Amino acid sequence: MELTTVWFALIAVLWIGYFTLEGFDFGVGMLLPVIARNDTERRVLYNTVGPVWDGNEVWVLVAGGATFAAFPEWYATLFSGFYLPLLLILLALIIRNLAFEYRAKKDDDTWRRNWDLSLTVGSFVPALLWGVAFANIVAGVPIDTHKEFTGTLFTLLNPYGLLGGVVTLLLFATHGAMFIALKTDGEIRHRARALSVQLGLGAAVAAVVFLVWTQAKTGSASSAVAFVLAAAALVSGIFAAWKGREGWAFVGTFVTIALSVAGLFLALFPNVMPSTTSDAFSLTTTNASATGYTLTVMTWVAAVFTPFVLLYQGWTYWVFRKRIATHHIPTTKPALETAGAR
């Protein structure tokens, strides 16, 4: 296989890692005001993702860095072209991350309310905008002969793009609800499971329309297989949640997200950013890539170090595998009595 193809696949894997993992972080953040009914329950939700959200987020940083290294033209066109949505995502991630770190550091209701709002908004915005961005990448945007994006913000806000955003939003919310049902105990668990079924049905409708539309637009035989399997996984996941099998339900949305992203990349290949201005201006795995030497170096680095990353990230999930319920939340005021406890 060509190294450019290998790296296209690896970047797809990084985005799959990002959306399957941070997807449920986003879901937990968005559902905070819906599922939690008091402060202790809100703290339960924060703590379900507490030890892992930061590691989950690194996947997008590595995806960005790997795109820069392996497909510099793609990195340059994408990030300078999708400027304002990306800026919004960055701002959202900043306030969201700080909500995790700072919320418990002051015993004050206004302080907590502000950070809760930051977490919810900061999860909602990227969950929506990543979908809009990816739909537009797959559908193509106006790109000129210098590989420059020539559209505006409103070019990206087309019906297909917006539907893509709605799909990621609903999928991540469902994924988050499945995760909460799997990681908590007591009333929250049941509330989350009931909600995951409702959200899942909504997500399924939106996702099927979107995936069929994508398949009709740019699909290949392989993307069709991925999309059909993704839809099957989603339906199975919802069924498992309805039956009370929370582990399988979570696996269901996990696989759904992974296969949907894989399908989008398969529909994209061999383009990385098609141009709607002229096919000749499309960025492809070959005309946007780094040199063979750089790709070789990067392949070695990835081959040697990725197993370690997977190993220790997996270990973290093992260490913090237990369910969390309201009685696990320490009753002492977090800011004062346990100052220095972390």
Partner 1 sequence: MDVTDIARWQFGIITVYHFLFVPITIGTSAIVAAFQTAWVRTGREEYLRLTKFFGKLFLINFAIGVVTGIVQEFQFGMNWSDYSRFVGDIFGAPLAIEGLLAFFLESTFLGLWIFGWGKLPRNVHAATIWMVHIGTLFSSYFILAANSWMQHPVGYKYDAATGRAELTDFWAVMFNKVQLVTFPHVVLAAYMTGGAFVMGVAAYLHLKERRQVATESDAPLYLKAVRIGAAVTLFAGLGVAISGDLQGKVMTEVQPMKMAAAEALYDTEKPASFSVFTWGTPDGKQEKFAIKVPRLLSFLATGSTSGKVQGINQLRDQYKSKYGEDPGAKYYSPGDYTPIIPVTYWSFRFMIGLGVFAAAGAALILLVTRNGGRPKGTWWPRLAIALPIATVLANSWGWLFTEMGRQPWAVFGLMTTQQAVSPGVSVFEAWVSIIALTLLYAVLAVVEFGLMWRYIKLGAPAYEEPPDHADTDDDRPLAFAY
Tell which positions 70-89 bind partner 1, by CB under 8 A: 70-73, 75-81, 83-84, 86-87
**Residue 84 tokens, joined:** 């304002």
38 binds partner 1 per the rule CB under 8 A:
no
**Residue 85 tokens, joined:** 């949505």
Q: Is 233 exposed, middle or buried (0-12, 13-18, 19+ CB in 10 A)?
A: buried
In three-state secondary structure terms, 238 is helix
Taking the least distance from each CB to partner 1, the nearer of 75 and 265 is 75
94 binds partner 1 per the rule CB under 8 A:
yes
Pick from 261, 302, 240, 304: which is nearest to 21 by CA? 261
Using the structure block, give the residue that is written with the tokens 């953040």.
Answer: 29
286 binds partner 1 per the rule CB under 8 A:
no
105 binds partner 1 per the rule CB under 8 A:
yes
Binding region for partner 1 (CB under 8 A) out of 25-33, 124-132, 230-238, 317-325: 317-325
Q: Is 336 exposed, middle or buried (0-12, 13-18, 19+ CB in 10 A)?
A: exposed
Taking the least distance from each CB to partner 1, the nearer of 222 and 299 is 299
DSSP 8-state code for residue 307: H
33 binds partner 1 per the rule CB under 8 A:
no
Taking the least distance from each CB to partner 1, the nearer of 60 and 268 is 60
321 binds partner 1 per the rule CB under 8 A:
no
The tally of CA atoms less than 13 A away on the side-chain side of residue 22 is: 24
CB 191 → partner 1: shortest distance, Å?
A: 20
Q: Tell me the backbone φ, ψ of residue 159, rounded to 5 degrees.
A: -55, -45
Taking the least distance from each CB to partner 1, the nearer of 116 and 246 is 116
DSSP string, 151-216: --HHHH-SHHHHHHHHHHHHHHHHHHHHHHHHHB-SHHHHHHHHHHHHHHHHHHHHHHHHHHHHHH
CB 32 → partner 1: shortest distance, Å?
A: 12
209 binds partner 1 per the rule CB under 8 A:
no
Taking the least distance from each CB to partner 1, the nearer of 280 and 341 is 341
CB 148 → partner 1: shortest distance, Å?
A: 4
Residues between 266 and 285 that touch partner 1 (CB under 8 A) = none
Residues between 42 and 71 that touch partner 1 (CB under 8 A) = 43, 46-47, 50-55, 57-58, 61-62, 64-71
Q: Kindly write out the interface string for residues 167-206 of this chain, putting x where it contacts partner 1 by CB under 8 A and - elsewhere.
A: ----------------------------------------
CB 328 → partner 1: shortest distance, Å?
A: 5
> What are the distances in angstroms from CA 266 to CA 4, 13, 72, 74?
14, 12, 20, 17
306 binds partner 1 per the rule CB under 8 A:
yes
Using the structure block, give the residue that is written with the tokens 């917006």.
Answer: 162
Taking the least distance from each CB to partner 1, the nearer of 242 and 320 is 320
- Binding residues with partner 1: total (CB under 8 A): 84
90 binds partner 1 per the rule CB under 8 A:
yes
162 binds partner 1 per the rule CB under 8 A:
no
Residue 341 Rama label (left phi>0; alpha psi -120 to 50; beta): alpha
What value, to the nearest 5°, has the Cα angle with vertex 102 and ends 96 and 103? 85
Q: Kindly write out the interface string for residues 131-160 of this chain, putting x where it contacts partner 1 by CB under 8 A and - elsewhere.
A: ---------------xxxxx----------
107 binds partner 1 per the rule CB under 8 A:
no
How far from each other are the two terminal CA atoms of the chain, in whole angstroms? 48
Using the structure block, give the residue that is written with the tokens 């997200």.
Answer: 257
100 binds partner 1 per the rule CB under 8 A:
yes
DSSP string, 1-21: --HHHHHHHHHHHHHHHHHHH
Given 6, 9, 34, 93, the residue binding partner 1 (CB under 8 A): 93
